[in-house]
Amino acid sequence: MPSWSDFQPFLVTGLSLGGVYALSGVGMVVLFRATGVLNLAFGAVGAMGALIAWQLINKSGTNEWLAFLVCIVFAGVITLAYGMVFGPALAGREPLVKAVATLGLTLVLLGIMDLLWTSSGGASRSIQLPTDSNTFMIGSVQVSLTNVIALVFGLVLTLITGAFLRYTKLGTAMRAMANDREITATLGVPVRRVEATAWFGCGILSGVAGLLLADLVALDATTLTFLVISALAATLIARLRSITVTFFAAVVIGVVNAMITPIQSLTNYRDMTPFVLAVAALLLLSRKREIAVGRQGI
Amino acid sequence: MTSAGVRTNARPAWLSQTREPRTLIRLAVIVVLLLFVLLALPSMLSLYYVDAMIQVAVYTVVALGLGILVGRVGLVSLGQAAVLAIGAWVSARLLFATSLSFPIVLLASGLVTMVLGTLVGLPALRMRGLYLALITLMLAGAITVVLSTTNFPNGGHGFLGYNGGNVHVPPIRRPSIAATDQAFFRYTVVVSILMFFLVLAHVRGRPGRAWASIRQSESAALAAGINTTLYKLWALALAAFITGVAGGLLAGGQRYLYSIDFVTQDSIILLAVVLMGGAYSMWGAIIAGLLYKFLPALLNNWGVSSDWLTILFGIGVLQALTTAPAGIVDQFPKDMARLGRRLRGLVKRRPPARGEAG
């Protein structure tokens, strides 16, 4: 059994990954509550943004910060465009259909990424955020500013989103739409505009998550696309409702996933963590026997 | 249109027998098609395409299973390729470890896969469909992780039966009556037909009616006394069973299995082709199989990157969900009929136009 000091560096990794999963999860939950769409293309959009940033920095010699900005804006715009075209077309359908439709966008983006940035031939890419070189020690563990940013950003975003939904007019409109889109529309809320904001916000977050994960994990289209699974597990544990639960679940998933690494017998299976935790949570939750019948809810 | 409707209404009861020749014709078409596929097709194709057609047959069965879930019951599984991988793993293990005859191995891997596939769906079944989709998507990711560690059996010892990468690796056994690729293709088609009959028996029977009512409205089904959890589980079990059998066929067809060939996105593409082909019809499964395995083989032969197909499938999903919910199998005849009408309209209009011009 490895000693505590073996675990310490992985605690740092886990917390920062958990922070990114949290901000992804919060983005997905807010979009889901506002529009009824579970954006499964979240990871793919972020991956494409990160690859574009890589292209700009390494091939065109663009300024790093500009490239990062392009990544985030691209992610926001592509998500918004999808929402504007397919949101209304599928507005009346079940959440399941809306979620599956975003898989269409995922496939399109995956195909484009594999075409433009082939992974064969051993071409490995990476993005280094400038904050990586800012390191300091906590005890005996080296921590980079990127690690801190990832966790703090996740935390701050959760708090801000919570306050936004609670205290602003737009946030109230979003919560109202989560309850009933039709009634909200009759009350004079500009439904389309509120939805557009939610889509754009979710897209921006996917760009940020894509950049951070490209730095913390790897810049690879498939890896980044399916890292969304960890965030999904968190949203699932929160039953697509509470952003607070999403935050904590995401951090737990990130930490457990990373902390298993030094344990010899489990290390190869550590990426199953989101699946195992989500199934366990579902089993516990479904003991309440909430029968899934009714107009609202999923 | 209206005249046809009137005619149907006016037709006396005894005349309704006239529908039968139509079924007969349809049956005859199916039989001729099957005979062609079984007898003529393998000798007409090169080995490359025979291999592709084996995979088409295998994935037709997988698509059929997913079609039951999506089309008949309204459950979406995003992990069906992972279930197939389980089936392939189990049968490869059995084929190396035992000298059981091939059909028994197929049956056994179907049953094992059925148990595993059902267990995974169990926690999500009490909740709405979105949860099942998410859980199965995570399953797809988890299975990829497990497979990359355990690898597929290749004649080694122990529970995993993995021998390391660089030693002499024996091929996976095939039945003695189907040793060549052509013969194995025929074998695969025959087993696939049996799977179609199995599904047909379910759809026509009590479970099929229960599924239809669950699809329409779960609350109404519940109120009508249908055990919705049981029948959903039944559908999951049936889909997993035939997918497990298909996994056995895949193992025998490929002869060498590598975990690197089973990736998470396969499950998503599988759902995409099922939606594109048409989830409500059994013909849709065949179209899905062709889209999924024949088209890439064709494009590969032409030197076109299969990434274009991924893009096409993505667009296909969006198109199917927004404008053609019943898929190509439903849309194509309609489009053809529309085209036919338009052509007929052109032909009818043309003679006077010519007369005017002349």
Report the percent of chain B where pLDDT is more than 70: 87
Give the model confidence (pLDDT) of B260-313 as tens digits.
788 888 899 999 999 988 888 888 899 999 999 899 888 888 888 888 999 999
Q: Does B324 touch chain A (CB under 8 A)?
A: no
| Average pLDDT over every residue of A55-70 | 88
Q: pLDDT per residue over A237-292, tens digit each?
A: 888 888 899 999 999 999 998 888 888 778 788 888 888 888 888 777 765 544 44
More confident residue, B241 or B178: B241
Q: B120-159 pLDDT, tens per residue?
A: 878 777 766 788 888 888 888 888 888 888 877 776 666 6
- Which of B343, B101, B115 has the alpha carbon at shortest distance from B244? B115
CA B121 to chain centre: 19
Retrieve residue B250's tokens: 């895949």
Distance from CA of B322 to the nearest CA of A (A): 7
Beta bridge partners of B179: none
Query: Can you give the pLDDT at residue B112?
Result: 95
Q: At B166, is the pLDDT very low, low, confident or very high (cuts 50, 70, 90)?
A: low
β-strand partners of A144: A135
B314 with A107: Cβ contact below 8 A: yes
pLDDT of residue B165: 63
Strand partners, A136: A143
Residue type, A184: T
**Inter-residue contact A32 to A195 (CB < 8 Å):** no
Nearest C-alpha neighbor of A244 from the set A152, A188, A161: A161
CA of A287: how far to CAs of A280, A282, B139, B230, in Å? Answer: 11, 9, 21, 17
**Candidate from A27-36, A84-93, A117-126, B49-58 with smallest mean pLDDT:** A117-126
In a domain, A294, yes or no: no
Helix (H) or strand (E) holding A93: none
Residue of A90, A110, A130, A141 whose CA lies nearest to A211:
A130
A292 within domain boundaries:
no
CA distance A104 to A110: 10
A298 falls within a domain: no
Q: How many CB pairs under 8 A join A and B?
A: 156
Q: Which of A45, A100, A117 to probe the B interface (max B CBs under 10 A)?
A: A100
Cα separation, B221 vs B191, whole angstroms: 34
Q: What is the pLDDT of residue B4?
A: 43
**CATH code at position A209:** 1.10.3470
Tokens coding A152: 């703090």
Using DSSP, state whether A218 is helix, strand or coil. Answer: coil
- DSSP calls for B243-305: HHHHHHHHHHHHSS--GGG--HHHHHHHHHHHHHH-TTSHHHHHHHHIIIIIHHHHHHHHT--
Is the per-residue pLDDT at A296 higher than 50? Answer: no
Question: CB under 8 Å to B251, separation ≥6 — which residues?
Answer: B88, B91, B92, B95, B172, B257
Q: For residue A120, give its domain range.
A: 4-285
Q: Where are the alpha helices (DSSP H) in chain A?
A: 4-35, 42-59, 64-89, 95-116, 145-167, 169-179, 181-186, 191-216, 221-226, 228-237, 243-259, 273-285
Q: Which tens digit of pLDDT belongs to each residue from B193-239?
A: 999 999 999 999 999 999 989 888 888 888 888 888 889 999 999 99
**Chain A stretch 30-69, residues whose beta carbon is closer than 8 A to a beta carbon of chain B:** 38, 40
Closest by alpha carbon to A107, among B222, B275, B172?
A: B275
In a domain, A297, yes or no: no
As to burial, measured by CB atoms within 10 angstroms (0-12 exposed, 13-18 middle, 19+ buried), residue A149 is buried
Bridge partners (DSSP) of residue A141 are A138
B52-86 confidence digits (pLDDT tens): 999 999 999 999 999 999 888 888 888 899 999 99
B321: chain A residues, CB-CB within 8 Å: 90, 93, 97, 100-101, 104
Check if B263 contacts A (Cβ < 8 Å): yes
Number of domains making up chain A: 1
Q: How many CB atoms lie within 10 A of CB B329?
A: 21
Could you give the ipTM of this predicted complex? Answer: 0.85
Which value, in Å, is the radius of gyration of the alpha carbons in chain A? 19
User: Are A23 and A205 spatial neighbours (Cβ–Cβ below 8 Å)?
Assistant: yes
Does residue A183 have a pLDDT over 50?
Answer: yes
Predicted confidence at residue B201, as pLDDT, reads 93
Instruction: Tell me what the mean pLDDT of segment A103-129 comes to.
Output: 82
Q: Which chain B residues are Cβ-neighbours of A286 within 8 angstroms? A: 123, 126-127
